[in-house]
Amino acid sequence: MAGTDGRTEKAGAAASDAELARRLDRLSRELDTEKREREVARPPQSKDGSGYAQATKMASEFIAGVLVGAALGWGLDRVAGTSPWGLIGFLLLGFCAGVFNVVRASGRMTAGNADRTGGDRGSL
């Protein structure tokens, strides 16, 4: 009787393994289908971070331009003794450079969004 119990256990284990493999395959297919459906339903995301990160980057580029311009103007005033004209002039140049950096960065973001969505930049 011991021999028949061993065979029965092996047959039961094989059937259990086959059932487990079928269930695993079915679950994998269902997960793949769900993943594809979620990817289709999800709006395209930017490659370099969220909108908050992009806004922070643009703000820091603007502030950096203004601060560098102010520092250069202050330094020029200290060296040349032209106070406050160097500070005023370079502060304005820094402001212009900051605005230029923000416009350039937003253009790159717009071009990147158009590439991901399949649109063209000229229609914006």
Per residue in 69-95, pLDDT (tens digit) is: 999 999 999 999 988 999 999 999 999
Q: Buried b / exposed e across 60-86, counting CB within 10 Å, b at 16+?
A: ebbeebbeebbebbbebbeeeeeeeeb
Q: Are residues 37 and 60 in the same domain?
A: no
10 shares its domain with 33: yes
Please indicate, yes or no, whether residues 94 and 116 belong to a single structural domain of this protein: yes
Is pLDDT of 105 > 70? yes
- Is residue 64 domain-shared with residue 112, that is, in the same domain? yes
Compare 75 and 10 and report the one with higher pLDDT.
Answer: 75
Indicate whether 67 and 111 sit together in one domain.
Answer: yes
Handedness of CA 102, 104, 109, 114 (dihedral sign): positive
Q: Which residue has the higher pLDDT, 18 or 97?
A: 97
Confidence tier at 53 by pLDDT (50, 70, 90): confident
Tens of pLDDT, residues 25-37: 999 999 999 988 8
- 66 and 115 share one domain: yes
Q: Are residues 9 and 36 in the same domain?
A: yes
Range of the domain at 37: 1-42
**Residues 119, 71 within the same domain:** yes
Nearest Cα neighbor of 108 from 60, 43, 47 is 47
CB atoms within 10 A of CB 91: 19
Are 49 and 90 within 8 A, CB to CB?
no
pTM of the model: 0.52
Task: State whether 107 and 84 are in the same domain.
Answer: yes
- Work out how many domains the chain is built from and give that number: 2
DSSP class of 29: H
Same domain, 34 and 55: no
Instruction: Label residue 124 by pLDDT band (50, 70, 90).
Output: very low
Q: Give the separation between CA 70 and CA 64, rounded to whole angstroms.
A: 10
Same domain, 99 and 74: yes
Domain co-membership, 12 together with 66: no
Mean pLDDT on 12-25? 84
Residue 45 in this model has a pLDDT that exceeds 80: no
